[in-house]
Amino acid sequence: MGSTRCSHRIGSGGRRGRASCPARWSCGGASRSTTEACARSAPGSWRSPCRRSTRPRARPRCGASPSAWGSRRSRRDSFKRPPSATAGRFQRRCCRREPRPRRDHDHSDLVRLRRRLGPRSNQDLVERSRRPVILAGRGAVLADAGPALEALGERIGALLATSLMGNGLFAGNAASLGVCGGYGSKLLERLLPEADLVLAFGAGLNQWTTMFGRLLGDAAIVQCDADARAIGGHRPVRLGLAGDAAEAADALGEELERRGFASDGFRTGEVAAEVRAYSAAEDYADEAGEGLIDPRTLVAELDRLLPPERTVVYDCGHWTWFVTPFLNVPDPAGFVPAQGFMSVGHGLATAIGAAVARPDRPVLALTGDGGAMMALGELDSIIAQGLVVLVAVFNDAAYGAEVHHFGPMGRPTGMVEFGDRDFAAVAVALGARAATVRSADDLAAPIEDWLARPAGPLVLDPRLVSARLAEAFAGGA
């Protein structure tokens, strides 16, 4: 069985010929990729897409090892086989085998879960738990597991939380702590480490959701995920369950109901009252400066002034640390973070899609000043299409994250500080309504006028107190 080869021209002393090099080497003379060439071969076959030379006259332009050119035999053998058996096996796997299928659901795990919850089992985690928490992620949203998880939480007395990508799944539930992680509230930061059991459904439990494990404390973790390979990928778990989040929650609830188990769990009178009464807008001290607004006050006022049925779009940036605890979303569809690549500048383009997809909801598009300057063309498109979008540009006259990275390192910050930019004036020049915001008193009038006549966008240019931003790097908002 030969190795896959690619053809290229070689020359020596004015003579030209054809030679080939093993696919694992990088060849600048290849006319097409090895993957494409293999795809054109007959299924199940292992044919070289290139011709084999008889005697190469010179070293080809490829990544072949210099040691392979010590003799005529070594030169010939270097074209006959890969340098190692491992490389050959790698080529055969890549070019002949189909990708391993993902496990969508494993019923045996549900059966195993019921068995482990048996009355005499030493691994009866749920019944022994006194402070359980249910943590739901994007997988739970895709499985439409919200009702099943809320019913399970009611039965076992669990507090509810979501990852950032599950934001809105438990909207309106009195036992919800909101988003878990660096974007979470101070209430969640106080209560979650007290949990003795965390039931994670469709959540990866990465370092941002768990704050590098600090938020989970010593809790036992049960992780349910449709992809068995994701279980335990970030945090060690006591029990892993491969399956659909909604079906797993229903199965667990049915087993507990069959056994007559119900508990107040973490929802004691004191804790339940604290969760119901909590408001992030009342859990901070305003640090507004002269003519500058605290970003937390800004978001709390936006939440109060805008209708509950809304679509919230995030760009990426340092300012996002101060948004989530203060801004409610009606459901998971009402939260669209443009943070998949963790690079600034995608928020306004995403807001266009959100406004077109749900014209019945006003869109709140949040972006930083750096991201807005990268996407001013998208602002013009929003204005030209007359989309009902409120654009709030978090203006701290800098790339905030870089300022607070470079400063403590003793590095100059001038290259990431770009001074005063008047986004309100830019928006007006493009044909939009706009307002500069320097205090909470500057918000009500333009927003109420825009809601009364929602024709086209409204652009707000809030000038932020930048000194406040450094706290995010200390681990909280």
Tell me the two tokens of residue 261. Answer: 């188990």
Distance CA(376)–CA(348), nearest Å, equals 8
The count of other CB atoms within 10 Å of the CB of residue 364 is 23
* Burial category of 229 from C-beta neighbours within 10 Å (exposed 0-12, middle 13-18, buried 19 and up): exposed
Is residue 280 a contact partner of residue 186, using CB atoms and an 8 Å limit?
yes
Predicted structure pTM score = 0.73
Confidence at residue 104, expressed as pLDDT on a 0 to 100 scale: 39
d(CA 94, CA 37): 13
Cβ-based neighbours of 141, under 8 Å, separated by 6 or more: 165, 166, 169, 202, 332
Q: What is the pLDDT along the chain (477 residues), one digit of tens a residue?
A: 444 444 433 333 444 444 333 333 333 333 333 333 333 434 443 343 444 444 444 444 444 444 444 444 444 444 444 444 444 443 444 444 444 434 433 444 555 555 554 433 434 889 999 999 999 999 999 999 999 999 999 999 999 999 999 999 999 999 999 999 989 999 999 999 999 999 999 999 999 899 999 999 999 999 999 999 999 999 999 888 889 999 999 999 998 998 899 999 999 999 999 999 999 999 999 989 889 999 999 999 999 999 999 999 999 888 888 899 999 999 999 999 998 777 899 999 999 999 999 999 999 999 999 999 999 999 999 999 999 999 999 998 888 777 877 777 888 888 888 888 999 999 999 999 999 999 999 999 999 999 999 989 999 999 998 755 545 555 444
Report whether 47 contacts 20 (CB < 8 A).
no
Sign of CA dihedral 29, 35, 41, 46: positive
Q: Which pLDDT value is given to residue 111?
A: 53
β pairing state of 5-12 and 15-22: antiparallel
Burial level of 114, CB count in 10 A (0-12/13-18/19+)? middle
What pLDDT does residue 5 have? Answer: 42
450 exposure class (CB count in 10 Å sphere: 0-12, 13-18, 19+): buried
Residue ranges and CATH numbers for the domains of the chain are 5-96 (no CATH), 107-277 (3.40.50.1220), 281-474 (3.40.50.970)
> What pLDDT is attached to residue 341?
74
Residue written as tokens 């006194």? 130
Quote the pLDDT of residue 85.
43
pLDDT at 317: 84
What pLDDT shows up at residue 351?
A: 98
Name the token pair of 44.
């199940």
In this structure, the strands spanning 363-368 and 335-337 are unpaired
Contact 189, 165 (CB under 8 A): no
Closest alpha carbon to 438 in 289, 286, 282, 287: 289
Sheet holding 458-462, edge to edge: 335-337, 311-314, 363-368, 389-394, 458-462, 433-437
pLDDT at residue number 412: 85
- The pLDDT score that the predictor gives to residue 216 is 94
The whole-angstrom distance between residue 12's C-alpha and the CA centroid of its chain comes to 54
Q: Rounded to an integer, what distance in angstroms lies between the CA atom of residue 133 and that of residue 250? A: 16
Can you say whether residue 99 is alpha, beta or left, with left for phi > 0 and alpha for psi between -120 and 50 degrees? beta
Which whole-number Å values give the CA distances from 460 to 291, 314, 424, 432, in the listed order? 15, 15, 7, 10
pLDDT of residue 467: 58
In this structure, how many other beta carbons lie within 10 angstroms of the beta carbon of residue 437?
23
Predicted local distance difference test score (pLDDT) of residue 466: 73
